[in-house]
Structure 1
């Protein structure tokens, strides 16, 4: 309890520091694409910023300020504009926390608990529909034996990447080829706390995230390499309020780490991948898109094709609060990729992959994660069984194909069916039928 109280105290201290330092100049409002999308006059950014300060102080503010804070999609354009060293993205995270504080504590706890339970079930079932026990233990170890020397890195998969485990296995294959030693952490038992933070259960968010950070620290690794952009934001922005002793490491996103080792990686990129490739990209995770492009540019045969992206969000799900924008972005990417004659559309993150692959049969190009292209050049391959299941669109056929794994892992067939329907077929942001896509 003391550590959790300390976490909350540190958050509150940071909020007080923001309130003291912010002059409500409005630079962050003007840099952000969200006000324009919402119809908020960014020209009056000072009034909107002042409204956010009201929210931080009282839990309430003007409508424009509350709408801006509530719809923040993490685009990141604000991160470098504050002359007073404030992180506006964190400021809006704390504004949302303040707005939820008025809800009953039991309601906030229930919201976090329900979200965590749904995520855990989906991860547990979908990962086991695709992985044998030995591969499951490699990507989501049940224990971490004592090592004589610290690993080079902690590879932090986050929770939901385990729904598309071929991506994670490719990452491990690349680490092995590079001679990078690692400990893998992820899955529900190593959650970053975001599912508790969103509904306002700050205490349990801090408790969950604190345990995860402590496990990282105990490895002795100097670097945490993250796959999930949400987890990375939690670690490097929100959890900077955690006790300093719990985070004696640097945290970098996976593509940024690999790009820093590009000279070591290039000798293994030996097989030509003769494809015109476009990215489905978002700007909000600093350095990630540039790193992915640098990696793919080093793959012999790959020709990168730039598309006109709207420059909003940090991954697809960050636009869930603005579904019209989200749908136009996805559909626009597909249309531009087709017009450009690409051979492959590559996603960056796991959550994006789960949506994109469901559309593959409707378009004249393959849909992959960028790690698959890197793996292909290195002679590494892992089957994308999630894509196969998504495209089958038949729960009975999926269960028949995975019958041995269902039995091996002791899964309940009825629960498996429920998860297939909810987490594979029910997770759809854009209709697959092109005629139903929003116009440009």
Structure 2
């Protein structure tokens, strides 16, 4: 899913860890929409902020293992992840994933490191630190933000995205209702509890209302929502009347940065796993990924959800 053969995030720590002002905890699932992680890195680099990004299974919060009843495994995994944060001695830990934050919030706080306790959402950080003089290029679109408001954290992050996008020249934010009853973000388990058919109808109705109010684009905040909205647009005509973009893409566009390709969206539109394999063959061969691993991942992500 990466734009480049190299990755901007660390999956393992180097032998010598250099102190960083910021450590950005990506978690695991954002890497399915790797363009978001790449764009976040581009933005922080453009802001000349000393930072390190940590992502992938080796920096897992353990929430999946907790859900499977493997509490001790989850606690050990989280402990190792927090120890990695501390090695950088950061001024600030930024987190991306709502599930990671939720998992930390529900653990015994005596077990949570001081670095992790001082975590701040990356979206809130960006809204507070991107100065107006960095947003120089007009982005002439009208956007409806897909936002969650069932938790105070999501209300704060939604407001941060609204404030940040409102500072982009030429961009207009259209007020639309929030997604209620869907938890902190659009995860598969939460959608199943909500009802998949109801989720499809709710999003289609929301997209129609956003279009009627003048929106040209729907904007995602979280990686999980972006994936679900991408697959909805693939499978359900009612959500195709708006172009989908993550808010980071629009921020980078206004900064004049090279735009990262949303490969998840491109691959999702290919008709079959065989065709996906054919289109990606050169890339996974170049990166040393076994074809059977690629096929299994593509089937799990794209075919089963049709």
Answer yes or no: same fold by TM over 0.5: yes
The structure with the larger Rg is 1
Instruction: Please name the residue that 1:258 is paired with.
Output: 126
CA contact (8 A) 1:277 1:304 kept: yes
Query: Which residues of 2 match residues 130-169 of structure 1 at below 5 A?
Result: 130-134=2-6, 136=7, 138-148=8-18, 150-169=19-38
The residue number in structure 1 matching 2:253 is 376
Provide the rounded CA distance (Å) in 2 between the counterparts of 1:314 and 1:245. 23
Q: CA deviation at 1:240?
A: 4.9
Q: Does 1:177 align with 2:46?
A: yes
- Choose between structure 1 and 2: higher helix proportion: 1
* 1:100-156 residue CA offsets vs partner (Å, 9 max, x unmatched): xxxxxxxxxxxxxxxxxxxxxxxxxxx4xx34432x2x22444335255x2111111
* Cα distance, 1:259–1:307 mapped onto 2, change above 3 Å: same
Change (3 A) 1:246 1:303: closer
Higher RCO (CA < 8 A, seq sep 6+): 2
Partner Cα separation in structure 2 for residue 220 and residue 271 of structure 1:
35
Query: Runs of 5+ in structure 1 lacking a partner?
Result: 1-126, 429-440
Partner of 1:321: 193
After TM superposition, the structure 1 = structure 2 runs for residues 19-418 of structure 1, keeping only pairs within 5 Å, are: 127=1, 130-134=2-6, 136=7, 138-148=8-18, 150-235=19-104, 237-243=105-111, 245=113, 247=115, 250-262=118-130, 265-283=131-149, 284=151, 285-286=153-154, 287-312=156-181, 313-317=183-187, 318-323=190-195, 324-360=197-233, 362=237, 363-380=240-257, 381-418=259-296
Contact 1:223 1:250 in 2 (8 A): yes
Counterparts of 1:340 and 1:394, CA distance in 2: 36
Structure 2: state its 5+ residue gaps: none
CA contact (8 A) 1:282 1:289 kept: yes
Are the counterparts in 2 of residues 214 and 247 from structure 1 also a CA contact under 8 Å?
no
Give the Å deviation of 1:246: 5.9
Write the distance in 1 (CA, Å) between the matches of 2:23 and 2:271: 36
Helix, strand or coil at the partner of 1:342:
coil
Instruction: Provide Cα deviations, 1:14-55, integer angstroms capped at 9, x if missing partner.
Output: xxxxxxxxxxxxxxxxxxxxxxxxxxxxxxxxxxxxxxxxxx
**Cα shift readout 1:248-281 (whole Å, capped 9, x = no counterpart):** 651111111111213xx32111110111100111
Name the count of aligned residue pairs. Answer: 294
SS of equivalent residue, structure 1 residue 314: coil
TM-score, structure 2 as length reference = 0.89
Give the superposition deviation at 1:242: 4.3
